Amino acid sequence: MTSVKVLENIYWVGALDWNIRTFHGFTYSTHRGTTYNAYLIVDGRTALIDTVHPSFTEEMIQNIREVIDPSKIDYIVANHVETDHSGAISEVLKLAKKAKIIGTAKCQSGLQKHYFGDWDFQVAKTGDEVSLGDKTLKFIEAPLLHWPDSMFTYIEKDKLLLPNDAFGQHWATSKRFDDEVNMEILMDEATKYYANILWPFSGLVLKKIADIQQLGLKIDMIAPSHGLIWRSYSTKIIEAYLKWAEGEASDRILVVYDTMWGSTEKMAKAILDGIMSEGVEVLLFRLPFSDRGDIMKELLDSKGLILGSSTINNGILPTMAPFLEELQGLRPKNKIAAVFGSYGWGGGAVKVMEEKLGKAGIEVTAPGLTVKWVPSEDELKRCFEFGRDFALQIKRA
């Protein structure tokens, strides 16, 4: 991939990672790869906004060379410490020996603890500005969106927001702009990104959008550090963030389960039929065949969650444990839940699921449904009614 002109004197100089399939270790599946977006602002002075994953350093430097000699870079704005954005700073500094790094105070200490470099650093606070000539960089601290060091950069002349991870999507494509790609896929990836990365910080998302409005910053374009640049649909993605952060969701239920000998699965399917009898949309996922990150994406826009697990060793199946662990970290708002499962000689799974849902801040609105060994016809009827009653609750919620 070569450099791409974004606006007058602003260039994308990042890299495409077509082959990455998991992100943040193994916590986030990236079925469509990702991009690391770095931007070069060429003015009286030159600024590089973020860099790339260290594996793509040479590719980024080559892209910079297409526009200018890297030794001419005056500033490297580090909006975020995480390695996928800061990983090439050391190498750029070998070429741009006089470049000054700009970031938050937490970014300074974070970079120091990652790279141990004695770098010229300028601490930025909200409202601070650096003039490049015609264009001026304005900085907005954005702590916990999604790390404590995170920061947005804004260019008033172009009404351009460079928010690093916020508004991103993990999608490697040969296109760079929202209006050049399939909007359904783009929003699907943006939804998954929000659910898996920004969901726990929804309160701060709302506050930051309000701060930006209060500062009177007009936004025509949002250039995140992953995925496509929002130039035609920047309003659409801001509205989607507001909706997700407020916890708005559809009348939809997810049934997520695993089964040992098929009894819990029979219960799951009878529950599903009960939900469908009320005309409520439902999605069924069996762990571990279904991808956890994909399920979280679907949960973002669903009001209800029903979890099922057979009992093993007085607890849940080990396949259910990581799902509940992640749910606890994501802290979804405005969801209601119910639980079910079969057991043999002693129960336990239902109680564990109820406890863990409570820790995730999700209200369990019905007594757990259990079946000993294999469900009878009558017990399957109870499962159907369990699903139907939960669907009625969702309609009322």
Q: Which residues bind to ligand FEO, rule: CB under 6 A?
A: 80, 82, 84-85, 146-147, 165, 225-226
Cβ-Cβ contacts under 8 Å for 29 (sequence gap 6 or more): 21, 22, 23, 291, 292, 293, 294
Sheet of strand 160-162: strand arrangement: 129-131, 136-141, 151-155, 160-162, 221-222
Q: Examine the residue annotation and report whether 114 is marked as an active-site residue of this protein.
A: no
User: How far apart are alpha carbons 272 and 308 in whole angstroms?
Assistant: 12
Q: How far is the CB of 19 from ligand FEO (least distance, A)?
A: 17
Nearest CA-CA partner of 165 in 212, 233, 225? 225
Q: Examine the residue annotation and report whether 80 is marked as an active-site residue of this protein.
A: yes
Q: How far is the CB of 64 from ligand FEO (least distance, A)?
A: 20
User: How far apart are alpha carbons 179 and 126 in whole angstroms?
Assistant: 31
Give the angle subtended at the CA of 254 by the CAs of 249 and 259, to the nearest 5°.
165
Q: How far is the CB of 5 from ligand FEO (least distance, A)?
A: 23
CA-based max dimension of the chain: 78
Q: Examine the residue annotation and report whether 355 is marked as an active-site residue of this protein.
A: no
Report the residue number, 11 or 36, with the smaller CB distance to ligand FEO.
36
User: How far apart are alpha carbons 43 and 158 in whole angstroms?
Assistant: 13
Q: Examine the residue annotation and report whether 146 is marked as an active-site residue of this protein.
A: yes
Q: Examine the residue annotation and report whether 24 is marked as an active-site residue of this protein.
A: yes
Q: How far is the CB of 119 from ligand FEO (least distance, A)?
A: 20
The string of DSSP letters for 61-113 reads HHHHHHHS-GGG--EEE-S--SHHHHTTHHHHHHHSTTPEEEE-HHHHHHHHH
Q: How far is the CB of 38 from ligand FEO (least distance, A)?
A: 12
Q: Which of 53, 80, 85, 170 is catalytic?
A: 80
> Residue 352 is encoded by which pair of tokens?
């564990």
- Select the residue whose beta carbon is closest to ligand FEO and give its number: 82
Q: Which of 17, 82, 189, 258 is catalytic?
A: 82
Report the residue number, 11 or 147, with the smaller CB distance to ligand FEO.
147
Report the residue number, 142 or 275, with the smaller CB distance to ligand FEO.
142
Report the residue number, 226 or 266, with the smaller CB distance to ligand FEO.
226
Q: Which residues pair with 363 in a beta bridge?
A: 336
Q: Which of 8, 24, 129, 355 is catalytic?
A: 24
Q: How far is the CB of 166 from ligand FEO (least distance, A)?
A: 10
Report the residue number, 52 or 306, with the smaller CB distance to ligand FEO.
52
Report the residue number, 165 or 298, with the smaller CB distance to ligand FEO.
165
Residue written as token pair 């993605």: 237
Q: Examine the residue annotation and report whether 53 is marked as an active-site residue of this protein.
A: no
Q: Which of 11, 28, 75, 193 is catalytic?
A: 193
Three-state secondary-structure class, residue 371: strand
Q: Which residues pair with 162 in a beta bridge?
A: 153
Q: Which of 59, 158, 165, 298 is catalytic?
A: 165
Q: Examine the residue annotation and report whether 226 is marked as an active-site residue of this protein.
A: yes
Residues involved in catalysis: 24, 80, 82, 84, 146, 165, 193, 226
